[in-house]
Amino acid sequence: MDSNLTQRRHSREEKIPDIQKTLDMVEFLLERREGKGKASEDDDEDDLDDLEEDAPGKPLKTTFELNDTLFAEAELEDTDTVYIWLGANVMLSYKLPAAIELLRSKLAVAQTSLDNTIEDLEFLREQLTIMEVNTARVYNWDVKRRRERRENDEAQRRAAGGSED
Protein backbone atom coordinates (compact mmCIF):
# COMPACT_ATOMS: atom_id res chain seq x y z
CA MET A 1 0.00 0.00 0.00
CA ASP A 2 2.88 2.33 0.83
CA SER A 3 4.55 1.69 -2.52
CA ASN A 4 1.25 2.24 -4.36
CA LEU A 5 0.74 5.61 -2.66
CA THR A 6 4.38 6.56 -3.26
CA GLN A 7 4.00 5.71 -6.97
CA ARG A 8 0.84 7.78 -7.16
CA ARG A 9 2.61 10.69 -5.46
CA HIS A 10 5.51 10.61 -7.91
CA SER A 11 3.08 10.38 -10.82
CA ARG A 12 1.19 13.47 -9.62
CA GLU A 13 4.43 15.33 -8.95
CA GLU A 14 5.44 14.71 -12.58
CA LYS A 15 2.05 15.65 -14.05
CA ILE A 16 1.53 18.92 -12.17
CA PRO A 17 4.53 20.74 -13.73
CA ASP A 18 3.48 19.50 -17.20
CA ILE A 19 -0.05 20.78 -16.72
CA GLN A 20 1.31 24.08 -15.37
CA LYS A 21 3.64 24.50 -18.38
CA THR A 22 0.78 23.82 -20.77
CA LEU A 23 -1.49 26.25 -18.91
CA ASP A 24 1.21 28.94 -18.97
CA MET A 25 1.66 28.51 -22.71
CA VAL A 26 -2.05 28.66 -23.49
CA GLU A 27 -2.40 31.75 -21.29
CA PHE A 28 0.54 33.31 -23.14
CA LEU A 29 -1.11 32.55 -26.49
CA LEU A 30 -4.36 34.12 -25.29
CA GLU A 31 -2.56 37.22 -23.98
CA ARG A 32 -0.64 37.52 -27.25
CA ARG A 33 -3.84 37.19 -29.26
CA GLU A 34 -5.73 39.69 -27.08
CA GLY A 35 -2.74 42.04 -27.13
CA LYS A 36 -2.80 42.10 -30.93
CA GLY A 37 -6.54 42.66 -30.97
CA LYS A 38 -6.34 45.50 -28.44
CA ALA A 39 -3.47 47.13 -30.28
CA SER A 40 -5.42 47.18 -33.53
CA GLU A 41 -8.56 48.51 -31.79
CA ASP A 42 -6.71 51.23 -29.85
CA ASP A 43 -4.63 52.53 -32.75
CA ASP A 44 -6.64 54.67 -35.18
CA GLU A 45 -3.61 56.38 -36.67
CA ASP A 46 -2.35 55.36 -40.09
CA ASP A 47 1.38 55.27 -39.57
CA LEU A 48 3.71 53.16 -41.65
CA ASP A 49 5.24 51.86 -38.42
CA ASP A 50 1.87 50.51 -37.32
CA LEU A 51 1.44 48.72 -40.62
CA GLU A 52 4.79 47.04 -40.26
CA GLU A 53 4.10 45.95 -36.67
CA ASP A 54 0.61 44.66 -37.45
CA ALA A 55 1.74 42.95 -40.61
CA PRO A 56 0.55 39.39 -40.76
CA GLY A 57 3.19 36.75 -41.14
CA LYS A 58 4.99 37.47 -37.86
CA PRO A 59 4.61 34.00 -36.35
CA LEU A 60 5.85 33.23 -32.87
CA LYS A 61 9.03 31.15 -32.97
CA THR A 62 9.34 28.71 -30.14
CA THR A 63 11.01 25.49 -29.05
CA PHE A 64 8.79 22.80 -27.58
CA GLU A 65 9.44 19.52 -25.86
CA LEU A 66 8.60 16.33 -27.71
CA ASN A 67 10.23 14.05 -25.18
CA ASP A 68 12.47 14.40 -22.13
CA THR A 69 15.53 14.89 -24.32
CA LEU A 70 14.01 15.81 -27.66
CA PHE A 71 12.98 19.34 -28.61
CA ALA A 72 11.69 20.83 -31.85
CA GLU A 73 11.42 24.35 -33.19
CA ALA A 74 8.11 25.66 -34.45
CA GLU A 75 6.53 28.81 -35.77
CA LEU A 76 3.10 29.45 -34.31
CA GLU A 77 0.61 31.45 -36.31
CA ASP A 78 -1.90 33.59 -34.47
CA THR A 79 -4.71 31.19 -33.60
CA ASP A 80 -7.66 30.86 -31.27
CA THR A 81 -7.46 27.06 -31.11
CA VAL A 82 -5.08 24.71 -29.32
CA TYR A 83 -4.82 20.95 -29.32
CA ILE A 84 -4.47 19.33 -25.92
CA TRP A 85 -3.24 15.79 -25.38
CA LEU A 86 -5.64 14.17 -22.91
CA GLY A 87 -3.90 10.80 -22.78
CA ALA A 88 -4.95 7.34 -23.92
CA ASN A 89 -4.19 8.36 -27.53
CA VAL A 90 -6.74 11.18 -27.35
CA MET A 91 -6.05 14.74 -28.47
CA LEU A 92 -8.80 17.33 -28.68
CA SER A 93 -9.10 20.81 -30.11
CA TYR A 94 -10.15 23.61 -27.75
CA LYS A 95 -10.68 27.33 -28.07
CA LEU A 96 -8.17 29.24 -25.91
CA PRO A 97 -10.58 30.24 -23.08
CA ALA A 98 -12.02 26.71 -22.89
CA ALA A 99 -8.51 25.23 -22.86
CA ILE A 100 -7.50 27.52 -20.01
CA GLU A 101 -10.59 26.54 -18.04
CA LEU A 102 -9.94 22.84 -18.68
CA LEU A 103 -6.26 23.09 -17.71
CA ARG A 104 -7.02 25.07 -14.56
CA SER A 105 -9.56 22.46 -13.48
CA LYS A 106 -7.13 19.63 -14.27
CA LEU A 107 -4.40 21.43 -12.31
CA ALA A 108 -6.71 21.91 -9.32
CA VAL A 109 -7.77 18.25 -9.41
CA ALA A 110 -4.15 17.07 -9.70
CA GLN A 111 -3.05 19.32 -6.81
CA THR A 112 -5.94 18.12 -4.64
CA SER A 113 -5.11 14.52 -5.52
CA LEU A 114 -1.45 15.10 -4.63
CA ASP A 115 -2.40 16.69 -1.31
CA ASN A 116 -4.72 13.76 -0.51
CA THR A 117 -2.04 11.24 -1.47
CA ILE A 118 0.54 12.97 0.75
CA GLU A 119 -1.99 13.01 3.60
CA ASP A 120 -2.71 9.29 3.09
CA LEU A 121 1.02 8.52 3.05
CA GLU A 122 1.56 10.40 6.31
CA PHE A 123 -1.38 8.59 7.91
CA LEU A 124 -0.11 5.22 6.69
CA ARG A 125 3.41 5.88 8.01
CA GLU A 126 1.97 6.98 11.35
CA GLN A 127 -0.08 3.79 11.53
CA LEU A 128 2.99 1.71 10.66
CA THR A 129 4.95 3.37 13.46
CA ILE A 130 2.11 2.76 15.93
CA MET A 131 1.90 -0.88 14.83
CA GLU A 132 5.67 -1.37 15.24
CA VAL A 133 5.61 0.19 18.72
CA ASN A 134 2.67 -1.99 19.75
CA THR A 135 4.37 -5.10 18.36
CA ALA A 136 7.49 -4.27 20.36
CA ARG A 137 5.38 -3.77 23.51
CA VAL A 138 3.64 -7.13 23.05
CA TYR A 139 7.00 -8.84 22.44
CA ASN A 140 8.53 -7.22 25.55
CA TRP A 141 5.45 -8.19 27.61
CA ASP A 142 5.82 -11.79 26.40
CA VAL A 143 9.53 -11.85 27.27
CA LYS A 144 8.75 -10.50 30.75
CA ARG A 145 5.93 -13.05 31.23
CA ARG A 146 8.21 -15.96 30.21
CA ARG A 147 10.97 -14.74 32.52
CA GLU A 148 8.53 -14.48 35.46
CA ARG A 149 7.13 -17.94 34.67
CA ARG A 150 10.65 -19.41 34.48
CA GLU A 151 11.59 -17.72 37.79
CA ASN A 152 8.40 -19.03 39.42
CA ASP A 153 9.07 -22.54 38.11
CA GLU A 154 12.67 -22.40 39.42
CA ALA A 155 11.46 -21.09 42.78
CA GLN A 156 8.90 -23.91 43.00
CA ARG A 157 11.59 -26.50 42.13
CA ARG A 158 13.89 -25.08 44.78
CA ALA A 159 11.08 -25.05 47.31
CA ALA A 160 10.07 -28.60 46.37
CA GLY A 161 13.71 -29.73 46.33
CA GLY A 162 14.51 -27.97 49.63
CA SER A 163 11.62 -29.62 51.53
CA GLU A 164 12.69 -33.15 50.43
CA ASP A 165 16.15 -32.76 51.98
End-to-end CA distance of the chain: 64
**Within 43-74, where are the H helices?**
48-53
pLDDT, tens digit (0-9, with 9 covering 90-100), for 76-121: 888 889 999 888 889 999 999 999 999 999 999 999 999 999 999 9
Q: Identify the pLDDT of residue 45.
A: 46
CB 134 within 8 A of CB 142: no
Mean pLDDT of 132-154: 96
Residue 62 near residue 74 (C-beta atoms within 8 A):
yes
Q: Does some domain include residue 122? A: no
How many Å apart are CA 124 and CA 1, to the nearest integer?
8
Which of 30, 26, 32, 10 shows the shortest CA–CA distance to 103? 26
Within-domain flag for 128: no
pLDDT greater than 90 at residue 138: yes
* 55 found inside a domain: yes
Given a cut of 90, is residue 125 above it in pLDDT?
Answer: yes
pLDDT for residue 155: 92
Which domain covers residue 57, as residue numbers? Answer: 2-107
pLDDT tens for residues 23-68?
A: 999 999 898 888 765 555 554 444 434 434 444 447 888 888 888 8
89 domain residue, yes or no: yes
Q: What is the pLDDT, as a whole number, of residue 68?
A: 82
In a domain? residue 136: no
Residue 115 resides in a domain: no
Q: Does 159 fall in a domain?
A: no
Tally of domains in the chain: 1
Tell me the torsion sign for CA atoms 12, 15, 20, 23: negative
Average pLDDT, integer, range 127-149:
96
pLDDT of residue 135: 97
pLDDT at 137: 97
Report the alpha-carbon distance of residue 115 to residue 110 in Å, rounded: 9
Residue 165 lies in a domain: no
